[in-house]
Amino acid sequence: MPSSVAPEKAFYEILEDLKEYLSDLTLVGGWLPLVYARHLWGLSIGNIVTTADVDFGVSGALSSKHRITVYDTLSALKYNERHIKLGHLLPVVFYRGGKIPVEFIADREADAEAIARALGTEVHINRIDGFEFLLQQRIPVTIKRGPRKIAVYCPRPAAFLYNKLSTFSHRETDDKKAKDLVYAYFVLRFAPDITEVFRQIRAYKDRHIFPAIESELPPFFKSLTSQGPLWIERENGPDEFVEDVREDAFERFQELLRNVYGKSSGTHEV
């Protein structure tokens, strides 16, 4: 179901606050479905699943030099700061309005000094193995809000989908696994050219990126009552355009398995 914690207005305002740095940041995470639908694909879709956090990926290969750091900018805009380590003032995570976290993610191998020059040493950075894949697959998306335009970099939808297929089974809770799968389902359902999405995913597979997907994904989609379709049905919620979300999700993931891996993992049987 859509998040009521992080309204769209605040999301767009955060982009505006960080506009000086957007050439070096890549929007990742739960706001991508909204950006893809409304600003890349030009679709009018309600009930889009989002998240509270606004997450940005940052690479050690920065293209710009900035007058001041992200820390200085958001501090001047009176974002709330919350400390990560008990008893330590630094590093901090910023919260807009005290409710919406603005977080930064980098690959574990990325150049920490280069990133700190842009963000500031005070800002907490989540480090994730293999995260550079998303940053290498980024594309520009123009976000129009009335007369204003903001250029934002996002991962290609196929890369976002592929990354979710890689991460979901390793998440700590079923709720997080379900959220990752419903993001993947969103791309499978709404991408205007699913043939091109499958072509790009096959290219990732052929480069041996996230090879475990081939064995880890099928068990979750063996039948209509497997965890994958059930999680997606629950997380998506009632849908005015699809009578049976569970069956639709099952069919779309079966299509992905056939087109990318040349196999089907199950049947409609419960």
- Over residues 142-177, the pLDDT tens digits come to 998 888 899 999 999 999 999 999 999 999 999 999
* Whether residue 85 is found in the same domain as residue 144: yes
Q: What is the pLDDT of residue 3?
A: 42
Q: What is the pLDDT of residue 138?
A: 95
Q: Does 88 fall in a domain? A: yes
Q: Does 136 fall in a domain? A: yes
* Whether residue 112 is found in the same domain as residue 187: no
Q: What is the pLDDT of residue 86?
A: 76
Q: List, in sequence order, the alpha helices (H) in 98-226.
A: 112-119, 132-136, 157-167, 174-190, 194-206, 213-216
Threshold 0.85, pTM exceeds: yes
Domain end among 110, 129, 155: 155
Structural domain of 20? 8-155
* Whether residue 148 is found in the same domain as residue 166: no
**Tell me: the pLDDT tens digits for 44-54?**
887 787 788 99
- Left if phi > 0, otherwise alpha if psi is -120 to 50, otherwise beta: which for 203? alpha
Domain end among 98, 126, 155: 155
Pairing of the two strands 54-58 and 25-28: antiparallel
Residue 268 has pLDDT above 80, yes or no: no
Q: What is the pLDDT of residue 206?
A: 96
User: Is 179 in a helix, a strand, or coil?
Assistant: helix
Domain end among 98, 121, 155: 155
* Whether residue 12 is found in the same domain as residue 129: yes
Q: What is the pLDDT of residue 84?
A: 85
The Cα 213–Cα 100 span in angstroms is 32
Q: What is the pLDDT of residue 140?
A: 96
Q: Does 143 fall in a domain? A: yes
* Whether residue 39 is found in the same domain as residue 57: yes
Of 205 and 51, more confident = 205
* Whether residue 122 is found in the same domain as residue 182: no
* Whether residue 187 is found in the same domain as residue 133: no
How many CB atoms sit inside 10 A of residue 43's CB? 13
**How many independent structural domains does the chain possess?**
2
Residue 1 has pLDDT above 50, yes or no: no
* Whether residue 96 is found in the same domain as residue 174: no
Q: List, in order, residues 6 or more apart from 226 with CB less than 8 Å away.
A: 219, 220, 250, 266
Identity of the residue numbered 216: E
* Whether residue 125 is found in the same domain as residue 257: no
* Whether residue 56 is found in the same domain as residue 91: yes
